[in-house]
Structure formats: structure tokens, C-alpha cells
Amino acid sequence: MQVRSYVAILSICILGLFSLQGCTGPDRSNRLVVIDAGHGGHDCGAQCGGKQEKTLVLQVVKKLEQAFRREGYRVYLTRGNDRFLTLGERTRIADQKDADVFISIHANAIADKSRFEAVEGVETYYLQKTRDGRSQRIAQRENEAVLKGTDMLSRDVIVDSVLAGPKVVESHKLAIDVQHNIMKRLHSRYPDAKNGGAKPAPFYVLVGASRPSILVEVGYITNTKERERLFSLDYQERIAKGIVEGVDRYLDNRQKELGI
């Protein structure tokens, strides 16, 4: 009888230990993510159907902050309200805070009204020069506000100074993991959500932060179907969860590679 009692008590303890481990999960308190909501203040970003990019991306960033914190991450936002930040201010924060990754959130748009309903999709970008005209045009639109007063030569020097560094390779890996997991989350409920892929482009907001950095275009505000989804709670939360899972995968793999 006494032996059975000991066995029962031991079993309860073991089950309780496993249960506790399952509840707490891995410790991510040493991981810091800096999240940048594009545009803000006088810079509304893309506008269509009475909606503004600066409002949308701030909503997504708030959901993303919550999702990261639920997983135990430390999080810092470049802006938590409707204000404009210069390029230097946005990227300097990531370095000052010694972030593990820097993520800039934007919404896409096209100028040709006849193609509004034909162009859609989620895209994740990492810093790199490209010959792809479409990627160049998207980067040019996003760069306009943060690069006012900077001449073309200076812009090229800025980009060239970081393209040969390890940040580009790591940012590419991060972009692939984030894009994959965003689409996995979206496709579980929205199977027709278009996967725009992980792509290179010269986004200047990704230049200044000396760490893995990506820019996520969460969808096209000029596309009616996608715009309605983008402003819905469910869609925003799925995007946020996908980004967190992508960052998780990237940082876990990086940890294994470094043998930490």
C-alpha cells in the first residue's frame, strides 16, 4: 500500500512538472524586437477608399506588439501614436536598444486605378539592390518621405555601405521565415490570400539598423477585397501571429547555427 502511495505521489509530481513546463514554454525574455510603423503624422502613406496606410500599420503594429509580448519577447515601438519619424530616428532606435531584429510594417499601393482589383498580396522585403522594376517602384514610393533632402549620390553610398555585410544574408533568412509563416496563418482561413514572396529591394529604412532587418508590406490598400481584410481584427491578428512565428523560427535556427 505504501509503495503504491509513493508511486502515485511521484506520478503526480512528474505530471505537474511537465504541465508547468508546457505552460511556461521557452524563455524568450532575452530577445528584443524593434517594430516600426511606417509613415505617421503629416505623412499618411498610401490612401484609398477613405483609409490611410499610417492608421492601418499602427493598428497592425499594436497587434504585433501584443503577440510578441505573449510569447515572452521584449518589444520596443518606434512610434506608438500618430507622429512622423525621420529615417535616422527609426533605425537608430534599433541599434540603441540592441534589438535582435528590426521589422518595419507598411501597406502597399499602386497608382494605376484600372489595376486596383488585379494587384494584391503580402510581400516581405530585405535590403538589396534589384533590377526588378516593380520592387524598385515600391521602394521608391516608401522612400520618398524619409529621404527628402538627400541627393542621389548620398543615397547610393548609404546602400552600398551595407550591402556587403552579414546583415543582408541574415535579413534574407528572416524575410523568408516571416513571409512563410504569415502566409501559413492567412491561408488557414483565407486560402485565396496571395503570396507575394520574400524579395530584395532598396528600402532605406532597412539601411541604418546594423542587425537583421525586414520590411513587411501587409497588403494592397488599393485592392477592395484586401483593404477590407486588412482593417479587420482577424486578418491583423493572423498577420501578427505569422510574423512572430517567423521571427521565432529565424532566431531559433540562428541560435543553433551559432551553437549557443
Residues 176/179/182/186 CA torsion (nearest 10 deg): -130
Pairing of the two strands 195-201 and 122-127: parallel
pLDDT of 132 reads 59
- In the chain, % helix, strand, coil (3-state, to 5) comes to 55, 15, 30
Residue 122's nearest CA partner among 137, 138, 111 is: 138
User: What global pTM score does this model have?
Assistant: 0.81
- Pairing mode of beta strands 47-48, 51-52: antiparallel
**Which numeric CATH code is attached to 29-258?**
3.40.630.40
Among 247, 257, 259, 256, residue whose Cα is nearest residue 31: 247
pLDDT in tens, the chain (260 residues): 555 554 454 444 444 444 444 445 688 999 999 999 999 999 999 999 999 999 999 999 999 999 999 999 999 999 999 999 987 788 788 888 999 999 999 999 999 999 999 999 999 999 875 555 665 566 665 566 555 555 544 445 444 444 445 588 899 999 999 999 999 999 999 999 999 999 988 777 787 667 899 999 999 999 999 999 999 999 999 999 999 999 999 999 998 888 75
pLDDT computed for residue 134 by the predictor: 62
Asked whether the beta carbons of 107 and 219 are under 8 A apart, the reply is yes
Please state, in angstroms and rounded to a whole number, the distance separating the CA atoms of residues 193 and 254.
29
pLDDT at 259: 75
DSSP lists the bridge partners of residue 175 as none
Q: Tell me how many degrees the CA angle 92-37-51 measures, rounded to the nearest 5.
A: 155
| Domain regions of the chain by residue span | 29-258
Residue with cell 477590407: 228
| Residue 89 pLDDT | 85
pLDDT at position 2, please?
54
Q: How many C-beta atoms lie closer than 10 Å to residue 222's C-beta?
A: 24
Helix (H, G, I), strand (E, B) or coil at 26: coil
